[in-house]
Structure 1
Amino acid sequence: MTGPQRAAALMLALGEERASGLLSRMFDDEVRDISAAMASLGTVQAVQVEELCKDFVEQIGQAGALVGSWETTERMLLRTLPRERVTQIMEEIRGPAGRTMWDKLGNVNEVVLANYLKNEYPQTVAVVLSKIKPDHAARVLALLPEGFAMEVVMRMLRMESPQAEALEGVERTLKAEFMSNLARSARRDAHETMAEIFNNLDRTAETRILSELEGRSAESAARIRALMFTFEDLRRLDSGGMQVLLRVVDKEKLTIALKGASETLREFFLRNMSERAGRLLRDDIAALGPVRLKDVDTAQALIVATAKELAQQGEIRLSQGKEEEMVY
């Protein structure tokens, strides 16, 4: 066990009243580290507890096994700290793993991070990409809108070492807006979370894993399928919604995405375009030649993410599930 895990087990063994006295004497970062360890500790067998707490063998032996969970952690913190502070700590430890903000960002899916950063100032995005690992930054940069991405690149090339005040400002913004939203999303139903994950898998992996899941839990597989929103589901958009989507998607990505789409969906897109635009798109698709399935999946996932963002803004309406019928 790590140091924080050992401390967390000891806190649980001492009980809420004694542990709260110890927590009240710790610094915020110590409270956060122990809280994170406690929340993910799970079951600690009595024999392990005895090894950690030889001075309290008798009491701990009677207590038996301990269970660390989100609920016990939050309840213990509430005995010592204000509710607002407890909420902040719990949201932080529920978020992506990592000690610093930049470590945490390195564990955020590139599609999720790109969708957030594309609405920020180019200078802010330049700072963020300069602080995370190059391979992760490259994947995020590739998902940003073309003109915006070039502006970010130029800012990064001209950027000197960011001042401490500027870095602190960016960290505060990310912590208050982005990470807290990610932490709150962690409280969703597990099937919703898995549906989002499956939406970002390539087709081969999605088919393989869902097939295996059906063999183990047909009910879970069915729920995930119902919650997933794929590129093919865009055919459920009404004409107005499709035209809104067409105005904002990158035309090059759309060409690649439709190259691997069904004929039905492709025709649906074309029907919502002008005759000239539709003809040009058909020609572009025909001239594209063979395209890697991975590139098609990436383009389709980006367009689906754009559609979801428009739906959150109230610009379009998406059907929530494979079997849902829309009435207008």
Structure 2
Amino acid sequence: MNAITPRSPLGQLARPGHSRPVLSRRQKAAIIVRLLSAEGQKLPLMELSDDQQTQLAESIAQMRLIDRETLHEVVEEFCAELEAVGLAFPGGLDGALKLLDGQLSASAATRIRRMASGTSRADPWERVTGLSADLLLPVLMEESIEVGAVMLSKLSVSKSAELLGKMPSDRARRLTYAVSLTGNVAPETVQRIGAALADQLDAAPVKAFDTGPVERVGAILNFSPAVTRDSVLKGLEEDDKEFAEQVRKAIFTFTNIYARIEPRDIPKILRAVDQTRLILALAGSKGDNAKSAEFILANMSQRMAQNLRDEMKNLGKVKEKDVEEAMNEIVTAIRDLESRGEIFLVAEETE
């Protein structure tokens, strides 16, 4: 910014015969900060270095009164500099990560976080609190009670409650009591704990798959032909009976509807399914699938059920392949409703 000569020495209003001294950029910055603060603007001054924050505070403390003409000139010069900016970058690796969030691979993002951890002035708790409860739970279980109490104090109330609900009651009780003792923990200590936790979480190896092997195999077999599914499960039982049992529980097919869907959820499912595909699936149901077909028909209005039965009779003979595809579409609709939290699958009873 060009030098500006005020009407009077800093701290005084203009008097006739006095020359106007030159304002430094730091003093001009103090004027802008004071003006914006008076307008109720919240400035991100914490993004400045500690030295810059201290120098700005000192400049504000030394200044008293600025005449209106000088204020207008400083504001005009500040606006001119802003208008001259064509493009601004966030600055630092933390800013780059926020800018590219969702566009980097997991491995690249982790590598950049590790690079940034040693030099960043950003709050490490922003990284920790932004993670899911599933990622935070193992850390909370392994860390000391004291560190866990600090962690719970920094997380949102809802996420802390979710974490407490996923751990043994004894540890949950000890952690909640320890939270009551965190009142005198120094801010520097909280910051160091946050940095250590962020480093620990970033050091965890990136998983190649979003879901575990049981869920992946179960999802594949969900949409496999029944003959293939039964054959694979039989082979899995011979190789690893425990894994096969877990996969069976993860599988949800048309056959499972009558046992794992609440009767009150049938209307929601019917609204999410094309009626012609529903009629085809119901018409071709036989064997174990017939129970699910009757379950669906029994949990709708009698008039609608009768209309569907009439449509099923008019279809005549249907191809098994077409029936299986229609059933898979119904299963997909159910899974979509479940993922959105609109319905919940009933857990299978363990024999």
Instruction: Specify the TM-score bucket, using the shorter chain as the normaliser.
Output: 0.3 to 0.5
Answer 1 or 2: higher relative contact order, Cα 8 Å, separation at least 6: 1
TM-score, normalised to structure 2, is 0.40
TM-score, normalised to structure 1, is 0.42
Query: More helix per residue: 1 or 2?
Result: 1
